[in-house]
Amino acid sequence: MAVSKRIVLHFPRRLVDRPIVYRLIKDYNLEFNILKASVTPEEEGLMVLQLSGEQKDYDRGIKYLTENGVRIQSLSQDFIRNEERCTHCGACITICPTGAFELDSVTRQVYFDNEKCVACGLCVKACPPRAMEVHF
Ligand code: SF4
Ligand code: SF4
């Protein structure tokens, strides 16, 4: 069975300059698309990937990463909306490059689909009540 998941990889400082993810293609038959990559002030490497392949290869690839000290989170856990803060003002709708926010014309509520989120971070600053929270 084929799977395709968006995940966040955290690399400890000692691994930042090693080509760890490239072995996912060569040794584990996986394909990936890098959605975001950065080095945090603590010099931890952070990469958001869309990782695709057969389930068994995916599982082996994840095992390889974790055994090498890479911490993995699922992306959907990382960008969340604080529902108590959201005022449904709609400021995030036009700024989101992937259309993750949608206005229901009947209820006038803004819905957030985190499956569409690619972690660009634009909505965090654009949201007046700071309802969008990053949990990297
Ligand atoms: S900008 Fe913030 S408050 Fe406004 S709809 Fe979007 S998430 Fe809600
Ligand atoms: S982080 Fe970027 S892609 Fe994700 S919901 Fe916010 S604006 Fe859209």
> How far is Cα 4 from Cα 10, in angstroms, rounded to an integer?
19
Q: What angle do CA 78, 70, 57 make, to 5 degrees?
A: 90
**Minimal-distance CA residue to ligand 1 atom 2:** 127
Looking at residue 77, its pLDDT comes to 56
Residue 136 confidence (pLDDT):
59
Residue 78 CA, ligand 1 centroid: distance in Å: 17
pLDDT of residue 29: 94
pLDDT for 135 equals 73
Low-confidence residues of the chain: pLDDT under 50 = none
| pTM summary value | 0.61
53 class by beta-carbon count within 10 Å (0-12 exposed, 13-18 middle, 19+ buried): buried
Per-residue pLDDT at 7: 87
Both tokens of residue 16? Answer: 């930042």
CA of 98 to the centre of ligand 1 (A): 15
Q: Which ligand has the nearest atom to the CA of 111?
A: 1
* pLDDT number for residue 44: 83
Q: Which amino acid is at 70?
A: V
Q: Coil, helix or strand for 45?
A: strand
Between the CA of 35 and the centroid of ligand 1 the distance, in Å, is: 23
